[in-house]
Structure 1
Amino acid sequence: MELPRPTLPITAFESPRLHRSEADLEVVWARHLDEVRAAQRLRHQVFVEEMGARPAPPAGTPEGHDADVFDRFCEHLLVRTRSDDRTPGRVIGTYRVLTPWAATRAGGLYSDTEFDLTRLRALRSGMVELGRSCVDPEWRQGGVIMALWAALGEFMQRNALHTMIGCASVGMRDGGHVAASLWQQLRATHLAPLEYQVRPRLPLPVEQLDTHLRVEAPPLIKGYLRCGAKVLGPPAWDPDFNTADLPLMMRLADLPARYRRHFLGH
């Protein structure tokens, strides 16, 4: 696998929002294949070893790595322990970002495989897809995800992009009841307007599940909602990852004032 040249003028970005022991971290965009491989190893650790996913990686993927056909088109954002001249830092958090230009080359978005995104067509020229976000278990109580979001905000502004979409996953080890109940809660409070709603290609069978459980959104989804994200429709079932995937959209214009200052600097 060859790492393509970045589709946008990417530069290293070091967040000032890291504190205490996190001062020894750096936020960077992957420039070399070995950096992408480090992100894929973290993804394998979280999605496969911890969460029990069983994806089918492309031929040639090294053992112990999570990869798919979209990786070669994506930009990969990393949080890692600070490196020195001899020792590379350890990747402890990652996002991958598929830009509008790269999505054209890839033949679409990952989300296109799970949802009919026809109603988002007018947004695509300024829309990026976020995916495969994960944080090392040892660092989930810190500000790693906030550092990633700060870098994403800088990236969006610098490249005149306005909308982020992605699939937020809810585990289905309980058979899907928690995911169905969460969807019922969020559709009442955070559902996008009709003109942005999408349909799952393989729907979670909500009508066959208990939708009356009192559940709390996972921390990542909760964070998106605080930033003004909207749910675009009912969840899809991803059999490879055994998750229910909620389609989310977050527009910079909808960021509350406190988050605009934090992530956009104004």
Structure 2
Amino acid sequence: MDTFPMLHLHHRPLTTPVPATAAAPWSVRWARHLDEVRAAQRLRHAVFAGEMGARLRSPLPGHDIDLFDDYCEHLLVTQAGSDDVIGTYRVLTPAQARRVGSTYSDTEFDLTRLRQVRDRMVELGRSCVHPDHRTGGVILALWSALSGFMQRNGLDVMIGCASVPMHQDGRYAAGLWQRLRQDTLAPIDWQVRPRLPLPIDRIDPAPGVQPPALVKGYLRLGAKVMGPPAWDPDFNVADLPLVMRLQDLAPRHRNHLLGGG
């Protein structure tokens, strides 16, 4: 990942912005030009480097940029009455994954077992929300837009890496894995292996850990953990591989996200 090509926006997702309302004082839309992508990259840098202490190698100071950005669609949540980006996801479609040669998750995990679903699988990544707006509503707004995009494009599998902090020298991440593997582990044909595993067998797992809010939200929607975490030394996090199939969406969320379909 030494070169960073200029961003070119490909095959715009055909969707109209979701406007702000009194109940939801934010707007959701897909980035339309480079300036909007840069705003998302600044938010990512503030969260990942500023809050989490990640060591980011970027060609532009104050921005989180990697080569996958050039091939992704970028979903934005902006605050009502402004263009300030308060939440973002990036989405790598199957066609764009073929163009770049892999997904980001491929760099951290052996995804061989997912080869049969790659033509209908999107990768979600670099999700973050500004600390002043970390409510369930912002995440649900992002997920609603993502679900609509997938339905329109005949896609039904989402994957991504959920980062958890390396608290207590990895004991928190090890404890979280021990907890999640008991009741949220994906079936064997959906399981993957980390390329740089967190050394679980050499870490005393912390007891009674609770999942981070974002991971807990994914699991409530119906996501599954595909295997043990990888260690990302640059971000100093443990990455859990997650998969979400639209058919597994929890019934109580189906109507809101999929319009009942």
**Shorter-chain-normalised TM-score: which range?**
over 0.9
Shift in Å, 1:62: 1.8
Q: Secondary structure in 2 aligned to 1:143?
A: helix
Deviations 1:129-152 (A, max 9, x none): 000000000111351111111111
Match for residue 106 of structure 2? 112
Q: Aligned partners of 1:173, 1:226: CA distance in 2, in Å?
A: 24
Deviations 1:62-94 (A, max 9, x none): 2100111100000000000235xxxx5100000
Asked if the contact 2:9–2:33 (Cα under 8 Å) also holds between the matched residues in 1, the reply is no
Match for residue 10 of structure 1? 14
Match for residue 72 of structure 1? 70
Deviations 1:103-128 (A, max 9, x none): 00011000000000000000100000
Shift in Å, 1:168: 0.4
Asked if the contact 1:7–1:102 (Cα under 8 Å) also holds between the matched residues in 2, the reply is no
Asked if the contact 2:77–2:87 (Cα under 8 Å) also holds between the matched residues in 1, the reply is yes
Letter in 2 for 1:32: H
Q: List gaps (5 residues or longer) in structure 1.
A: none
Check if 1:249 corresponds to 2:213: no
Asked if the contact 1:8–1:159 (Cα under 8 Å) also holds between the matched residues in 2, the reply is no
Q: Secondary structure in 1 aligned to 2:119?
A: helix
1:226 to 220, 223, 238: 220
Letter in 2 for 1:261: N
Deviations 1:227-255 (A, max 9, x none): 11110000000000000000000000001
Shift in Å, 1:8: 4.8
Q: Aligned partners of 2:207, 2:19: CA distance in 1, in Å?
A: 39
CA 15–248 in structure 1, closer or farther in 2 if over 3 Å, else same: farther
Moved more, 107-116 or 61-70: 61-70
Q: List gaps (5 residues or longer) in structure 2.
A: none
Deviations 1:134-179 (A, max 9, x none): 0000111351111111111111111110000000011014211000
Letter in 1 for 2:38: R
Q: Aligned partners of 1:149, 1:163: CA distance in 2, in Å?
A: 13
Match for residue 95 of structure 2? 101
Letter in 2 for 1:140: R
Shift in Å, 1:13: 2.9
Q: Aligned partners of 1:7, 1:236: CA distance in 2, in Å?
A: 32
Match for residue 44 of structure 2? 43
Q: Aligned partners of 2:22, 2:215: CA distance in 1, in Å?
A: 23
CA 19–178 in structure 1, closer or farther in 2 if over 3 Å, else same: farther
Q: Where do residues 121-136 of structure 1 align in structure 2 (5 Å cutoff)?
A: 121-136=115-130
Q: Where do residues 1-266 of structure 1 align in structure 2 (5 Å cutoff)?
A: 1-14=5-18, 20=23, 22-23=24-25, 25-57=26-58, 61-83=59-81, 89-141=83-135, 143-266=137-260
The alignment's C-alpha RMSD in Å is: 1.5
Q: Aligned partners of 1:120, 1:155: CA distance in 2, in Å?
A: 21
Q: Aligned partners of 1:26, 1:8: CA distance in 2, in Å?
A: 18
Q: Secondary structure in 1 aligned to 2:160?
A: strand
Percentage identity across paired residues of the two chains: 61
Letter in 1 for 2:60: P
CA 186–8 in structure 1, closer or farther in 2 if over 3 Å, else same: same
Q: Aligned partners of 1:108, 1:19: CA distance in 2, in Å?
A: 41
The total of aligned residue pairs comes to 256
Q: Secondary structure in 1 aligned to 2:141?
A: helix
